Chains A and B, each alone.
Chain A
Amino acid sequence: MGKTETVKSISEKVGLTQQESERIFDKFVEILSDHLAHDEGFTLPKLGSFSTRIRESYQTYNPHYKGMINLPKKKVVQFSQSSTIKDELNNE
C-alpha cells in the first residue's frame, strides 16, 4: 500500500479531505525524522519504539570487490518491536 492509499483510508477514518491528510502525513513524517535526527527516540503505541545509536566501523567481505573493506562509523535508526505485536504475531 503506497502513500496515496494510506492517506485515502486515513482521510476516510478521521474525516479530513485527502489533501489535508496528505499534508498532515508529510508533517508527521517530518516531525518523526527531525526528532530522530536530534537523537530523540519515541514510541508509537502497539507498533514499537524508535531510537538512534552509533554503529562503530567494522570490516566485512565485499563480494563485488573480492576483498575486505572497512565500513565507516554510522548513526542508524534502531527499531524495537512492541510486546503487543510480538504476541500477536506468534500466537496465530
Chain B
Amino acid sequence: MHELAITEDMLSLVLSEARKHDAQKVNRVQLRIGEMTGIVGDSVRFYFEQISKDTIAEGAILSFDFVPAAARCRDCGHQFDIADFVWSCPKCHSLNIDIVAGNELYLESLEVT
C-alpha cells in the first residue's frame, strides 16, 4: 500500500550511493525485505520503473531477498519461523516470544558500471 513512498526513499538511497562511487549506470539493485513489512515486490518494481526514468538507475533490475518472519521464545529459548502467522512457541506454547526476523527493509548492494 505504501510501496510508492518506500520506493522513493529506496531510489534516492540508490542514487546517492551510486554517486559516491562515481557510477555511470546502476545495473542491479539487491534488496532485503522481511515478511512482516508486507511489501509487495511487484509493486516496488512497478513504481521503480516509473520514478527511475531519466536517472542513472533507469532499467536497473531489482532483486529481492525475502526474509521469513521468525521468533524466539523467552521461556524455552526455541527459535522458529512463524508459519501461518501463529504467534506462539511450537515447543512450549508460550506467548512470550520476541520477533527476531521479518522486519527487514534493506538496500543490500548495487551493481554499477
- A pairs with B: no
Using a CB–CB distance below 8 Å, which chain B residues touch chain A? none
Using a CB–CB distance below 8 Å, which chain A residues touch chain B? none
